[in-house]
Structure 1
């Protein structure tokens, strides 16, 4: 965006100042914000309601001994995936449980959440037998709990009543299903549990059944069928704040669970309304997906379906977390040279904090990861710019006064329960690749697109009404972006201050004497803070190290801040950030280019206090290309493209390898970043190759050829994996 457009935007927002206030986004109050479970809803409100789904097979006691609940406990689950999810109003998930011989479909849909109301929602659980030649019986449990220590539930006329979120009612409706032999269709329990433990749904279900099972074990009589014995107690404790409803079926079944908000005057839904709403949302989703990405013009229908599911999986992985975190703010006595002894951490409890975030893995990492979130925001921003901004603003609120954001967000006991103890503590000297700024870039692009449309609409007129929706919306978007400028300036300066490396101390020659960077926090074999955990580095950590990947990240960060300053009309700041970028780009060659090896490398210092190149051909070597620090006609660009295309090193039919096949550590030890193909990095490489293919320069043709072939290889690999999982 040019500065002239920025001035026009400022003028528009001045005219439309009355419309700058941003309404709270109530369409995201409720959501599937417990991605760590196979299925669970909660609102973006601390100390409020949580819900979850659990199930086991009642075919026999062996099957009934394993209660499905956490997504990490998935032995026997062939696949579980969101096939639809728009991030706001509805979702449809498919779970193929081969061990229990069922395909489960868990759907949710929301309504009446406008005008500040939390709204209604409905959940539909459908079970379909996979192989009808084998007996199939399933017992499902849907629970509701309140994290508010003052809250309690009542049961009246088959409905659950509570006071959370202004009051609510929960009711159920059977659509299809036969009761399991010798077992009631419905059972329940209402318990008083510690408010901080309501998330432990599986534990509460099993503890309710335990007395009955212990009594059976003590008796001398033969045990009844599992479907009869494995039932909730049908009891209600005083001041209960946790409620579970059990439904036991044989064969196929479908039922609905509906929550009605007492604040909403809208008519309560029926199952017919749920069916119609799900169908309508699917049609709307497909239409928006087609309009946004236009994949049908290039790919056949089945492959478009895969792409739709990939997006749905990302949106369905968004979670809301709240609680305290563990931070060790003791000064580092080694200048961040090596990791703190994690076994000897002395953290202090901080918070509570809140975070709305996408998650990199529902099974292994269902929490917020700083540099993963940047990649998430790129795709979410393309789909729903405002939702992406919600997530970015949530992360920004975690920033402390110095500008630090912890690279891993482990908020509350539920999140901590899935993290080994030594990894729970965060350290304020440690960074992560600053990809979160891409969320700001995505929003800048949304503003530019909206601005262009608005400018076209008013072209040829002298005035326009501040009441128009375009002007009002654009002013709100601008104000939202403006509110993030100061904290992100602070965050940028935190990076420059805490991660700066040493240049003059080791007689290194460079254009800019202060533009060199080093990751704080590493061990002899890992640099966890870099995100490239076990990628080879210097064998012995040294305070004089300079890390090429961080150097390139800082160049990308400076350029992003320049773009942000430009769109906000901060001309002086934009000029300064531009100077930072130019200096960092120059120093990438001055400091890190090894002419003899024709390779970009890290730097370290040997036992004679002499600076030397630490070279490991792989992703790190490609960072100046990947993050577009190189001029289009530079010899280093040509050498980097040739390295990328070398089939004996990095090029493969599936994408670019993380480490050269020639390297002595290729595929060794942990083998995390030692040869594996990482699609996010390949995405960045594709973007860079396309950029250089479109720039006038000596290597445009080579970049275009590499881009075309790499894109084909990556897409083919992803589609191949999707097809294998859909069979």
Structure 2
């Protein structure tokens, strides 16, 4: 009987296994079939523009504006380049090289695309208004190259508009070569190439070498090129390029749009102001050279505005899926760094606009539907609730605002040796090793996130409503560490407490500004703006905020102005111990905020 029971169990178990195996095989086959079928028939979603008013539809951007802005120094990634704001552009550029250097061709030593690897001592726009004129100086070893629209006596406009001018007007550029001051005197040559091309009539790759003949400019102005281009309007507007030599190793090139009489570059000179942006007088107590640096920062930002046309790539599927192109569109934007980030960056653009608004007031709204605006207003109101912020992010134990989440401090950075590649090679890699179990708690570091209530001006300057001192919510559960809640300082005491933390040298306060891994000018500017707001409140909070503002502003300006005058550049970030500029340069993304900091424009 025992044997029969045993046999029955064996048979039943075997039968169940057959069923499970058969089911698993069928499921795997079905998954493979539908997965293959799905991949074969998958169609990416249709990407279409948002149906909402566009900035370009504002009345400020009418036909007159488009005509005035047709031409500009919109080839941001070059040391110097002009183009039209059209999908297929009429483009112009400059390159130079040492014809006596055997490495010129072998190592591609010609200067054309802006690159930190070229090691220029300095370069950047010293004056630029974003519309009609500008001057740029490039110091390349023994050579000092000045590209300007400035005459000997008066600033000159890059573009002029007359009755005989075609679309976009006429523009002129003056190129001056000189020996860099302090360099040894020896006979050296430099070759300069100026070119103009039409993207609407491209050449084959093997036909890109320039056409033309050597022209002696000593006998007078010369017509170098002429033609027609759809970039200048319907019907392929006519254009011509002229050059002339002027004294002191300079020559001018004049571009004429339309059928018109030839004239010299001197005809482009006007009486406009030459400050290129930040003008006026600054506080004489500021570091020497602050006005010069402020003008250069804003001018280089405006001179770095570029025009791009094409499709952005977005990934609509999961990881590993092929990116899909957006619809073709134009992008007109300032670039953070011509040598390192010669393209638009969203997180810089907001700070760019702060500077641009200081010069040009758009003056009207986008006219978004009320329903769309309402959603943003509701979100803004929720995020402006100080009582809720205290309940969620105020660490009573430490007296500051902090992130809350599943976290552990018991983490180490370990190294290990791996073998990979072809042929196989050994390399040492670092990896994070977590030794403790993460628990719900406050992140116990004071960082930029701790400054957000101050930056967003949510801290009280006077008496605070009782709701802001609401008690803490129920405990986050077993194992949670840290005391959340709002049972600590309230009213002006809370603000004074945060101002004291701001100036604690053991936290973010340094001789060169507020630090994280480095000194970043964007966050420092936002803190200065908030301190200026609280300084106007008066009382104890106002006095403390004003003192912190003046000291932080002084430290930042000494660091930024000192670096520019010593090294010739503004930088993406600054070392928090030495104040030395680091990373990409010239960087006039958010670092151009030095102009607003100097002028106290918040």
TM-score with structure 1 setting the length: 0.53
Query: How many pairs are equivalent?
Result: 422
Structure 1 residue 110 corresponds to structure 2 residue 159? yes
Give the equivalent residue in structure 1 for 2:426.
none
Give the equivalent residue in structure 2 for 1:312.
299
Pair 22,171 (structure 1): closer, same or farther in 2 beyond 3 Å:
closer
Report which of the two structures shows the higher radius of gyration computed on alpha carbons.
2
- Cα distance in 2 for partners of 1:296, 1:612 equals 47
The structure richer in helix per residue is 1
Pair 652,113 (structure 1): closer, same or farther in 2 beyond 3 Å:
farther
Structure 1 residue 704 corresponds to structure 2 residue 536? no
Give the equivalent residue in structure 2 for 1:82.
125
Structure 1 residue 595 corresponds to structure 2 residue 396? yes
Query: Is 1:32–1:40's contact at 8 Å kept on the other side of the alignment?
Result: yes
- Cα distance in 2 for partners of 1:272, 1:45 equals 28
Return 5+ residue gaps in structure 1 as ranges.
1-18, 178-251, 333-340, 387-476, 494-557, 562-575, 659-673
- Cα distance in 2 for partners of 1:54, 1:619 equals 43
Give the equivalent residue in structure 1 for 2:333.
357
Question: Once the 2 structures are TM-superposed, how far is the Cα of residue 20 of structure 1 from its aligned partner?
Answer: 9.3
Pair 34,22 (structure 1): closer, same or farther in 2 beyond 3 Å:
closer
Give the equivalent residue in structure 1 for 2:20.
none
Give the equivalent residue in structure 1 for 2:290.
303
Query: Is 1:290–1:296's contact at 8 Å kept on the other side of the alignment?
Result: no
- Cα distance in 2 for partners of 1:320, 1:27 equals 15
Query: Is 1:632–1:698's contact at 8 Å kept on the other side of the alignment?
Result: no
Query: Is 1:151–1:162's contact at 8 Å kept on the other side of the alignment?
Result: no
Query: Is 2:461–2:537's contact at 8 Å kept on the other side of the alignment?
Result: yes
Determine helix, strand or coil for the equivalent of 2:77: coil
Pair 345,706 (structure 1): closer, same or farther in 2 beyond 3 Å:
farther
Return 5+ residue gaps in structure 2 as ranges.
1-58, 150-157, 205-209, 213-221, 409-436, 463-490, 570-602
Task: Output aligned runs, 1:477-488, within 5 Å.
Answer: 477-478=363-364, 481-483=365-367, 485-486=368-369
Structure 1 residue 623 corresponds to structure 2 residue 452? yes
Question: Once the 2 structures are TM-superposed, how far is the Cα of residue 173 of structure 1 from its aligned partner?
Answer: 2.1
Question: Once the 2 structures are TM-superposed, how far is the Cα of residue 81 of structure 1 from its aligned partner?
Answer: 1.2
TM-score with structure 2 setting the length: 0.64
Residues 529-558 of structure 1, C-alpha deviation per residue, up to 9 Å, x if partnerless? Answer: xxxxxxxxxxxxxxxxxxxxxxxxxxxxx6
Which one of the candidate residues 79, 82, 94 is aligned to 1:38?
79
- Cα distance in 2 for partners of 1:37, 1:682 equals 30
- Cα distance in 2 for partners of 1:609, 1:303 equals 49
- Cα distance in 1 for partners of 2:537, 2:274 equals 36
Pair 289,700 (structure 1): closer, same or farther in 2 beyond 3 Å:
closer
Pair 297,288 (structure 1): closer, same or farther in 2 beyond 3 Å:
farther
- Cα distance in 2 for partners of 1:20, 1:619 equals 38
Which of the pair has the greater relative contact order for Cα pairs under 8 Å at 6+ separation?
Answer: 2
Which one of the candidate residues 172, 175, 179 is aligned to 2:245?
175
- Cα distance in 2 for partners of 1:160, 1:721 equals 45
Residues 596-638 of structure 1, C-alpha deviation per residue, up to 9 Å, x if partnerless? Answer: 0112111213699963212321211111111212222434422
- Cα distance in 2 for partners of 1:51, 1:32 equals 9
Question: Once the 2 structures are TM-superposed, how far is the Cα of residue 171 of structure 1 from its aligned partner?
Answer: 2.5
How big is the alpha-carbon RMSD for the aligned residues of Structure 1 and Structure 2? 3.3
Task: Output aligned runs, 1:174-193, within 5 Å.
Answer: 174-176=244-246
Give the equivalent residue in structure 2 for 1:27.
68
Task: Output aligned runs, 1:227-626, within 5 Å.
Answer: 253-262=249-258, 268-274=262-268, 276-277=269-270, 280-281=271-272, 284-286=273-275, 289-291=278-280, 294-295=281-282, 302-330=289-317, 344-386=320-362, 477-478=363-364, 481-483=365-367, 485-486=368-369, 490=372, 576=378, 579-583=381-385, 585-605=386-406, 611-626=440-455
- Cα distance in 2 for partners of 1:726, 1:578 equals 41
Residues 107-127 of structure 1, C-alpha deviation per residue, up to 9 Å, x if partnerless? Answer: 241111899931111122211
Pair 313,113 (structure 1): closer, same or farther in 2 beyond 3 Å:
farther
Pair 154,160 (structure 1): closer, same or farther in 2 beyond 3 Å:
farther
- Cα distance in 2 for partners of 1:699, 1:320 equals 46
Query: Is 1:600–1:615's contact at 8 Å kept on the other side of the alignment?
Result: no
Pair 712,145 (structure 1): closer, same or farther in 2 beyond 3 Å:
same
Determine helix, strand or coil for the equivalent of 1:41: strand
